[in-house]
Amino acid sequence: MAKEIIIDKPLDMHLHLRDTQMLNLVAPLSAKYFSGAIIMPNLIPPVTDKDMLIAYRERIKKAIGDEIFKPYMTLFFKSDYDYKFLESIKDELSAIKLYPAGITTNSEGGVEGFDIEKLKPTLEAMSELNIPLCIHGESNGFVMDREAEFIPIYEKLASSFPKLKIIMEHITTAKSVEALERYENLYATITLHHLLITLDDVAGGMLKPHLFCKPIAKRPEDRKALLKVALSAHPKVMFGSDSAPHPKHTKEAPGCAAGVFTAPIALPLLAELFEEHNALDKLQDFISTNAQKIYNITPPSKLVILQKKQMDIPLSYGDIVPMMAGEKCSWRIKEIKVK
């Protein structure tokens, strides 16, 4: 039985850092343990131009201080991004994030309807410039069906733009896993919480607001499908925490904010999960190697040494309550080495 495991250049390929005071609190918690992360652009207002992107990146760098960490920046998708604009900003960003309008936190300015002809100029330019498209793939239908209802849109985009690398973000269903195999240019991120919980954990007994997220956790058979591809380190999937911090008073309240905060505890909990399934040898690929290949990136060198020793998960980080607050994990971070 492994006593230690070393993760080389751990990456979080879907991370919310927010802004202002929240940014200053949560950014160092990711930067300490990860080599880099894909940073979501759904601020208020969203990140939609070069100046905003560069300014946000500088605020992130200021917030993390001396930590060795690369923020891989994204833009909030707009259908009027043309080739000239995207070419001018290409070297500053790693992807563009598309949100259906109003489907999740700060997404009101997203895409309404999916008229491929209206999206075509931007998506063709992205294809030619090799800029990946990350998508929050949900319809506005019944909450348990939203991701499945979005799959035909993924398929239409994948077939219409075969050179466009499309990342299905935070997938939660067996149907999304199946879609991965049908199109060469479809990839996916999977969160820690969707590997651990189902809807029953969220609302099967007393409601647990700190497990409420969008997309909402699904059925046991969906979790089983996610586990299968994650634990086997399927080359088209990668870890993306979707760690989404909200102050305690907005989670433990009517109109509970959607988001699960996992950034500072993700690596130990993933080690525990992968060990339970005799798959520790696949953790490196899931948490770094696959993402490096998919995004064609070389993150800063950082070795995170995890040891088999019990950790008490904090009750809070400032005013943010993490997933499994107050519970125990059988793994902890022993040491971080920066080359």
CATH of the domain at 316: 3.20.20.140
Structural domains counted in the chain:
1
pLDDT at 113: 81
Query: Confidence band (pLDDT; 50, 70, 90) for 309?
Result: very high
Contact between 36 and 297 under an 8 Å Cβ cutoff? The reply is yes
Q: What is the arithmetic mean of pLDDT over 91-106? A: 91
Q: Name the DSSP letter for residue 166.
A: E
Distance CA 8, CA 337 (A): 10
Q: What is the reported pTM?
A: 0.97
Q: What is the arithmetic mean of pLDDT over 135-145? A: 95
Pairing of strands 74-76, 95-98: parallel
67-86: pLDDT as tens digits: 999 999 999 999 999 999 99
pLDDT greater than 90 at residue 288: yes
From the list 8, 51, 91, 242, the catalytic residue is 242
Contacts with 255 (C-beta within 8 Å, 6 or more apart), sequence order? none
- Cα atoms found within 13 Å of the Cα of residue 297, Cβ hemisphere only: 29
**Angular region, 277: left φ>0, alpha ψ -120 to 50, beta rest:** alpha
pLDDT greater than 90 at residue 101: no
pLDDT at 102: 81
Distance CA 61, CA 97 (A): 21
Mean pLDDT, the chain, integer: 96
pLDDT greater than 90 at residue 106: no
110 or 183, greater pLDDT: 183
Contact between 231 and 287 under an 8 Å Cβ cutoff? The reply is no
pLDDT greater than 80 at residue 1: no
pLDDT at 10: 98
Determine the structural domain holding residue 311 and report its residue range. 4-337
Query: Confidence band (pLDDT; 50, 70, 90) for 108?
Result: confident
Share above pLDDT 70 across residues of the chain, in percent, rounded to a whole number: 100
Quick one: CA dihedral 43, 141, 188, 111, positive or negative? negative
State the Cα torsion 254-111-74-132 to the nearest 10°.
130
Which tokens is 332 given? 């902890």
Residue burial 68-77, b: 16+ Cβ < 10 Å; e: rest: bbbbbbbbbb
Query: Confidence band (pLDDT; 50, 70, 90) for 150?
Result: very high
15-59: pLDDT as tens digits: 999 999 999 999 999 999 999 999 999 999 999 999 999 999 999
Contacts with 214 (C-beta within 8 Å, 6 or more apart), sequence order? 103, 104, 105, 138, 258, 259
Annotation says 8 is catalytic: no
Which tokens is 312 given? 């008490």
Contacts with 106 (C-beta within 8 Å, 6 or more apart), sequence order? 42, 43, 44, 46
Distance CA 175, CA 180 (A): 9
Contact between 186 and 171 under an 8 Å Cβ cutoff? The reply is no
